[in-house]
Amino acid sequence: MFHRWTGSMTKRDIWVTPAFAGESVSAGYSFREGGYSEGAYRGLNLGFHVGDDTQKVTENRAYVAECGFGPVSEWVVAKQVHGNGVAVVGQAERSSGALADVLPVPDCDALVTNEPDTTLVVLTADCVPVLFYDPIHHAIGAAHSGWKGTTLHIVQQVFFHMNFLYHTEAKDLQVSIGPSIRRCCYEVDDKVADPVRREFGEQYLVPRFQTKGKYFLSLQACIQSDLRKLGVPAENIDDVGVCTSCHTDVLFSHRAEHGRTGRECGLIRLNQ
Ligand SMILES: [Zn+2]
């Protein structure tokens, strides 16, 4: 069912899978193909909050669950607020935000657990989905990292939680950076550039030719920098390299589709 991104897309290639996914951990990123939604949300829209038909989103989620991430009643979805809050979840939080009539985990942008059969889900459409796996202590995390979460170092917050709770060591942590808007398309102004400069440095911003105050930003490079500073080895960081804005035929992009679009997701689940 899952495929590595090869740079060319066929009808069957509706997913990418992190390098670390295997028997003990299921993980993947959904694409647009294969769902029931129509119009601006065409395809596999997984967001209830974007104005799509609730029944169609429910059917789309059930379809994804059947691909090794289910049942949907075991998913955990947060109300994402572009912060750096991390929630520790488990059996008690299952179904939160997963079903249309169950509230999401309140106001946070990352989830961690060491309980099997609990699927962590982050919804994105340009922001960076980041999945974490500690194969030694058998623990996982998922983060939604837009420019705000990135400049608030959300990926480091996930590690600190996993380290404190599960004794995860940076050298063992496997991390995957999913489909998201990339430097080719992500133009920002000084409102975004200033915190990036302050937190990461000028090198992550490429000035737009002859346009003062406009830059192209690589959130993925900032995230990699944060992970490397923690001591996560470069070979443990897997960037799938797909730009959402370049590929609205197969992915949802908030920027490219002027705010009216669906949500893809990153999912991760420990198996028994
Ligand atoms: Zn692009």
CA of 28 to the centre of ligand 1 (A): 20
Query: Could you tell me if 1 and 26 are in contact, meaning their C-beta atoms sit under 8 angstroms apart?
Result: no
Between the CA atoms of 106, 111, 114 and 116, what dihedral angle is there, to the nearest 10 degrees? Answer: 80
Quick one: CA torsion of 180, 181, 182, 183, rounded to 10 degrees? -160
Centroid of ligand 1 to alpha carbon of 178 (angstroms): 14
182-200 per-position pLDDT tens digit: 999 999 999 999 999 999 9
Give the containing element (helix H, strand E) for 244. Answer: none
Q: How far is the CA of 262 from the centre of ligand 1 (A)?
A: 18
What percent helix, strand, coil does the chain show, rounded to 5?
30, 25, 45
**Residue % of the chain over a pLDDT of 70:** 95
pLDDT number for residue 5 = 46
Task: State mean pLDDT over 109-132.
Answer: 98
- Of 16-20, 197-201, 235-239, the poorest mean pLDDT is in 16-20
pLDDT at 251 over 70: yes
Going from the Cα of 3 to the center of ligand 1, the distance in angstroms, rounded, reads 21
What is the rounded CA–CA span in Å between residue 155 and residue 149?
A: 8
| Per-residue model confidence (pLDDT) at position 8 | 45
- Give the E-state strand segments of 78-225 in sequence order: 86-88, 110-113, 119-124, 128-134, 139-145, 174-177, 187-188, 205-207, 215-217
- The answer to whether residue 1 scores a pLDDT higher than 70 is no
- The mean pLDDT value for 214-239 works out to 98
Tell me which residue has tokens 């509230």: 103
Ligand 1 geometric centre to CA of 231 (Å):
29
Which letter does DSSP use for residue 103 in this model? P
Of 93, 63, 125, 73, residue with least CA distance to 253: 125
Residues sharing a CB contact under 8 Å with residue 124, sequence separation 6 or more, in sequence order: 144, 178, 179, 180, 244, 263, 264, 265, 266
User: Please, which pLDDT band fits residue 13 given cuts at 50, 70 and 90?
Assistant: very low
Domains and CATH numbers, the chain: 15-182+231-270 (3.60.140.10)
What is the chain's mean pLDDT, rounded?
93
Q: What is the pLDDT of residue 6?
A: 47
pLDDT recorded at residue 36: 93
Share of the chain above pLDDT 90, in %: 87
Distance (angstroms) between ligand 1 centre and the Cα of 251 equals: 11
Distance of CA 242 to the CA centre of its chain: 12
Measured in Å, residue 248 CA sits from the centre of ligand 1 at 10
| Residue 15 contacts residue 179 (beta carbons within 8 Å) | no
Q: In what order do the strands lie in the sheet with 187-188?
A: 187-188, 215-217, 205-207
Query: Under 8 Å CB-to-CB from 7, ≥6 apart: which residues?
Result: none
Under the banding of pLDDT at 50, 70 and 90, the label for residue 14 is low
Distance 183 CA to ligand 1 centre (A): 7
